Amino acid sequence: MEKIIECIPNFSEGQNLSIINAIADKIRSVKDSLLLNVDSGYDANRTVYTFAGPPEAVLEAAFLAIKAAVELIDMRFQKGEHPRIGACDVCPLVPLKGVTMDEVIQYSKELSAKVANELNVPVYLYENSQPKHYRSNLSIIRKGEYEGLKEKMLLPEWKPDFGGTAFNEKSGATVIGARDFLIAYNVNLNTKSEKIANEIAGEIREIGVIKRNKFTHEIERDSNGTPLRIPGSLKYVKAIGWYMEHFNKAQVSFNLINFRKTPIHIVYEETKKKAREKGFDVTGSELIALIPLDALLMAGRFYATQQNFSENDFSERKLVEIAVDKLGLAELEPFIIEVRIIEYALKHSKIND
């Protein structure tokens, strides 16, 4: 069976079209590297590329894309709503077909070594590639962002996995690792309040929020001095809130790290519930990059059942259309099913020729 992996690098540029296109051209330049989607966010100042192919082609395309970002993006002048530590902020590798997670972990280490050695960009491993549990979470690695990276890299516990501790002022650092499929998903609110969006994010995300005394507002700690936390309502979910000026509304931005255990429709409905408790409402949602077919089929079945229909009453296509409608996925821009669902995108590519 042919080996196919997916790469979804996130670059810290979502406004300069010439840079966005230059990185895309590098990905396209590699034979058998199939660029499936380019998703830019102006206010986030971030672009997510999705491409797939045989491991050798994907690794070459990923390196060339990162190299282009190092040459074209200057982190000293980069600002945006999305947290980031470098020109190429994160570069995940995902097994799709005929390849094991262990193999993809090895690919991630090969790419990391090449980026550090040839581009002089320090690299942190994350997710399945990172053997140290406290360093496996992207949000923890990214804490302090680019502005705090120089000092963070000097701490023994935060020495990069590849490259030295010398700070690359122009490019920052990057995070590379093998992981399962992740859904990046934003839910839109009928408010401009970043504070409300952050409150909702804290109430839902698995890690929750730091516990504070309700009278003094001081952080409560356990006997070892570790801050106590109030867990969020949903497992396998990460979230932050922000205001997106381009859309004139606040969003709760989610990463769904296990969409089978915490499906996208459950996240959407929980956000609606939390928003309404605060006197606001959800107006729709936005998918970043691609989504697995099963995620939308699960949502379609859920909403069909709510309307007293059986999933057997609908074709696969109709279930997907129900999901897109009920999740409001076309609120901010058209949602093209053949482009945004990974299985459909691959079906129309050369991979399955």
What's 341's domain CATH number? 3.30.70.670
Query: With pLDDT > 90 as the criterion, what percentage of the chain qualifies?
Result: 91
Residues 193 and 332 in one domain: yes
Residues 195 and 341 in one domain: yes
Residues 239 and 160 in one domain: no
User: At a CB cut-off of 8 Å and minimum separation 6, what does 5 contact?
Assistant: 52, 53, 54, 55, 58, 93, 94, 95, 96, 99, 104, 107
Q: Could you confirm whether 265 is annotated as catalytic? A: no
Give the full edge-to-edge strand order of the sheet including 237-244. 237-244, 249-256, 183-189, 282-288
* Boundary-marking domain end, from 122, 146, 178: 178
* Boundary-marking domain end, from 127, 156, 178: 178
Instruction: Give the model confidence (pLDDT) of 210-221 as tens digits.
Output: 999 888 889 999
Q: pLDDT value at position 335?
A: 96
Q: What residue type is 187 in one-letter code? A: V
Number of structural domains, the chain?
Answer: 2
Q: What is the mean pLDDT of residues 54-73?
A: 98
Q: What is the mean pLDDT of residues 326-352?
A: 87
Q: What is the CATH number of the domain that holds 24?
A: 3.30.990.10
Residues 146 and 108 in one domain: yes
Could you identify the residue written with the tokens 């895309």?
24
Residues 28 and 171 in one domain: yes
Q: pLDDT value at position 312?
A: 77
pLDDT band of residue 82 (cuts 50, 70, 90) is: very high
pTM of this structure: 0.86
Instruction: Give the model confidence (pLDDT) of 188-209 as tens digits.
Output: 999 999 999 999 999 999 999 9
Please name which of 140, 258, 274, 284 lies closest in space to residue 203, comparing C-alpha atoms. Answer: 274
Residues 224 and 107 in one domain: no
Task: Look over the chain and give the mean of its residue pLDDT values, rounded to a whole number.
Answer: 95
Residues 171 and 215 in one domain: no
Residues 240 and 170 in one domain: no
Q: What is the mean pLDDT of residues 237-249?
A: 95
Residues 109 and 195 in one domain: no
* Boundary-marking domain end, from 138, 163, 178: 178
The one catalytic residue in 82, 217, 246, 265 is: 82
Residues 21 and 104 in one domain: yes
Within 10 Å of residue 74's Cβ, how many Cβ atoms?
14
pLDDT band of residue 351 (cuts 50, 70, 90) is: very low
pLDDT above 50 for 353: no
Question: Can you give the residue range of the structural domain that contains 204?
Answer: 183-352
Please name which of 80, 87, 85 lies closest in space to residue 20, comparing C-alpha atoms. Answer: 87
Q: pLDDT value at position 1?
A: 64
